[in-house]
Chain A
Amino acid sequence: MAEIVRLAGYAAAVWLFLTGLYGVVTSRHLVHMCLSLTVVQSSTYVLLTVIGYRLALPAPVFTDHVQPASATVDPVVQALMLTDIVVEATVVALLLAITVRIHRKSGTADPHEVDLMRG
């Protein structure tokens, strides 16, 4: 049972990664591209979640019915995910700021027309 859940999650993570990358590659609008990047980043969250999954174990919070020092779902992976989410949010913020500025400067938000760096 746990194996099915984990493999399904893994497949979802791979699909998210590749679809997000496809979005980045074929995007015609910079905001769409930033959000496709978000999709790529989400794939790592899903992957980390399924890696931390343990069958029939509670969350790593020792209140109410969970005894301290009992077995739980992996807390390390959740902490990694927190870090990952903050990193992603801030990088996307930076990218969106760049997008807004590009639109302001050149009047377009189409990545195909953002090619001053040809050659």
Chain B
Amino acid sequence: MQLASLPVVLPLGVAALLAGAGNVLRRRALDVITLATSAAVALVSALLVTASTGKVVVYWFGSWHPVGSSRFPIGICFMVDPIGAGLACLAAVLVLAAFIFSWSYFESIKSLFHTLMLVFLAAMCGLCLTGDLFNLFVWYELMTATAVALCGYKSESPSLQGALNFAVTNTVGAFLSLTGVALLYAFTGSLNMAEAGRTLAANPASREFLSVVFIFLCAGFLVKAAAFPFHFWLADAHAVAPTPVCILFSGVMVELGLYAIARVYWIVFSPIGLPAPAGIRTLFLIVGALTAVLGALYCFGQRHLKRLLAFSTVSHVGLMFLGFALLDPHALAGMAIYVVGHGLVKGGLFVGAGILLHRFRSVDEYDVPRGLMPGVGALMLAAAWGLAGFPPFATAVGAAQMEQVAKLQHREWLSAVAIFADALTAAAVLRFSARVFFKLGRGKPEVLREAPHIHTEVETRGDHYHVPACMWLSMILMLGLAIATGYVMRGHVDRFAAQFESPDAYAAAVLNAHPEISVQRESSYLDAEYSASWWWNRALAFVGMIGLAAIGLYPRTRKRRKTNPLDRALAGIVLHLRTVQTGRVGDYVAWFTLGIAAYGALLLFAR
């Protein structure tokens, strides 16, 4: 069955074709071809999800199956399992929605945009499906190169600087990851993930060595996932990237960093139990909590919608890290559902930003004419609802599962972090939408004083007085899917997650060609309805969201000169935080260095 190679090969082939024929093909043809390709990839990935339920589909490129009596892998394989294929499907669906958004109106230089987006899709699918460490690095680099090209090609000053920051930080991270791969290869003699895990289990290495290799390997992926303190580049890149590209960045590219960390941990490091699960938990709980809290604080202090949404992505990825840190199948399943829901909701929000940009040539909270387009405003409010993790969106389902596990592990403080992050980020979007679409709000809160005011170039052509139907369609599609996937995925993902966390299954499938698995690590949690305490948490988040948005909209009560104390308190924190985000790439790399050293030390000393 050649299906497993299609999600990567098809977009690459079509991209090469479009690049060669770019002068000849008309825009309509380009749009149709790319739409068809991304739809095909989405379909194939969905088929792969069903095909790999209950087993691992292994595809050896070049027919290089494992050789010898010890079944040593000498080729590159794709290890297809439902979670990986599901992520590839999400990537394809988001690319499809992005192409619907950019149908015919989006400015593209010849066929460049279409070619780059298809290659980006291929790279993302490759990263989701691969079972080889160096192959992972190659797809990571392809993602970075394509994303930088997509980010900077408008060639305006801000976009160039955003692209520069993006490229340098991600490249430095990538090369540290490659160092990790090289060191692991030096010890195990293999680049295949399952084989490396098996070798480590049979030939124990020292705890220090494995901790260092793990942190080095994760360095590049932590940068990609915009964890603290590697998150600075994300806002810069988002502020300037074209809208369809932002959909992909926030929707799936950032989450793929976390996916790669999870994949590498479960397949390579968990069989030997080093670094110790307790250390991993501590590390990622700290990473997740810091990222979630700081991301939310930055988010509230932005007036540029794309940058606001970028910081909210940082915050929500922090929550996903918390879900991963619990190291439990039920939590991982919740995280997977949350990733899907968040990606689709965030995509919808970015389409809203794109509509604003098309209509008003700006996405700044105070530059956009107010009170127009209530329809878009209503959709943005719905998306904010989904961002905060309220039912019926898939984010609610995912977050509920993660909180269930957190409670059972006696880590209730995670719920507090989630409430804080959800409330603050949703409040920011709510504040923006209410002010812009419904003419609410008076004055400017302290929090937005000196907020970055980045000029964004118009990226579409045509009549700027009407919103094309394709943009509406894209937004409604994504929000609708965000609701639907919650119902569809619920209850099924637990099995997939349990499979994801069973390295023996992968070793057997990859090395011994026994694809059927019997999963031992069944989760013992019932997939119950939302519990009472969860409803209380959500109510608290709702109250927080409304309250914070109100503070943002009406900071001055009764004609006082100063704004109310809560606004000033928030502003105090946020303004100080903003001095750290300097926009200079030298600072970002310095923080990267310190962050890796600190996390490495944490992993070494945590018990």
Which chain A residues have a beta carbon within 8 Å of chain B's beta carbons?
A: 13, 17, 21, 24-27, 30, 33, 37, 40-41, 43-44, 47-48, 51, 76-77, 80, 83-84, 87, 90-91, 94-95, 98-99, 101-102, 105-106, 111-112, 114-119
* Contact of B583 with A116 in the complex, beta carbons under 8 Å: yes
Contact of B584 among A13, A43, A98, A114 (CB under 8 A): A114
**8 Å CB contacts to A: which residues of B574-601?**
578, 581-586, 589-590, 593
| Docked complex: B176-211 residues within 8 A CB-CB of A | 176, 178-179, 182-183, 185-186, 191
Known: A47-B182, A105-B160, A117-B454. A25 touches B578 (CB 8 A): no
B138 adjacent to chain A (CB < 8 Å) = yes
Interface pair B161/A118, CB less than 8 Å apart? no
Are A33 and B175 touching (Cβ within 8 A)? no
Task: With A101-B155, A106-B157, A117-B452 as known contacts, state yes or no: A24 contacts B235, CB within 8 Å.
Answer: no
Q: Is the interface of B mostly helix, strand, loop or mixed?
A: helix
Q: Is the CB of A98 within 8 A of B593?
A: no
Interface pair B160/A44, CB less than 8 Å apart: no
Assess whether A43 is in contact with B161, with CB atoms less than 8 Å apart.
no
Q: Does B352 contact A (CB under 8 A)?
A: no
Closest Cβ–Cβ distance, residue A64 to chain B (whole Å): 26
Interface assignment of B88: CB less than 8 Å from any CB of chain A: no
- Whether a CB of chain A sits under 8 angstroms from the CB of B165 is yes
| Given A80-B134, A83-B134, A117-B581; 8 other pairs, CB 8 A cutoff | A21-B589, A24-B586, A37-B168, A94-B145, A102-B160, A117-B165, A119-B451, A119-B452
- Is B161 a contact of A102 with CB atoms below 8 Å? yes
The residue of chain A having its C-beta at the shortest distance from the C-beta of B302 within the complex is: A119
Interface size class of B (residues with CB under 8 A): 35 or more
- Asked whether A98 lies within 8 Å of B152 as measured between CB atoms, the reply is yes
Alpha-carbon gap, A119 to B583, bound state (A): 7
A109 to chain B, nearest CB (A): 11
Q: When A37-B168, A116-B583 are in contact, do A91 and B179 touch as well, CB less than 8 Å?
A: no
**Complex Cα spacing A33 to B585, Å:** 10
A115-B583 in contact given A40-B175, A47-B179, A101-B155 (Cβ < 8 Å): yes
Give the distance to chain A from B127, nearest Cβ to Cβ, in Å.
15
Q: Are B167 and A91 in contact (CB under 8 A)?
A: yes
Pair A91/B589 contact, Cβ less than 8 Å: no
Query: In the complex, how many residue pairs between chain A and chain B have their CB atoms under 8 Å apart?
Result: 127
- Is B162 close to A, CB under 8 A? yes
Q: Contact partner of A25 among B134, B182, B185, B590, CB < 8 A?
A: B590
A-B contact pairs, 14 of them (CB 8 A): A13-B179, A17-B175, A21-B589, A24-B586, A33-B585, A40-B175, A84-B178, A91-B167, A98-B152, A98-B163, A101-B155, A102-B164, A114-B161, A115-B584
Q: Are A91 and B158 in contact (CB under 8 A)?
A: no
Q: CB-CB contacts of B138-153 with A at 8 A, as 1s and 0s?
A: 1001001100110010
Rounded to whole angstroms, the CA-CA distance of A105 and B578 in the bound complex is 26
Contact between B145 and A90 (Cβ–Cβ < 8 Å)?
A: yes
Task: List the B side residues contacting A43 at CB < 8 Å.
Answer: 175, 179
Q: How far is the CA of A109 from the CA of B176 in the complex (A)?
A: 27
Enumerate B437-487 residues with CB–CB distance to A below 8 Å: 450-452, 454
Q: Would you call B508 an interface residue if the criterion is a C-beta within 8 Å of the partner chain's C-beta atoms?
A: no
Residue of A nearest to B177 (CB): A44
Given known contacts A102-B157, A105-B157, A116-B157, A94 and B239 CB-to-CB distance under 8 angstroms: no
Interface residues of B in 20-58 (CB under 8 A from A): none
**Contact: A44 with B175, CB < 8 Å?**
yes
- Which residues on the A side are within 8 Å of B182 (C-beta)? 44, 47-48, 51, 77, 80
Q: Are B585 and A118 in contact (CB under 8 A)?
A: no
Alpha-carbon gap, A118 to B236, bound state (A): 9
Instruction: Say yes or no: B145 contacts A116, CB within 8 Å.
Output: no
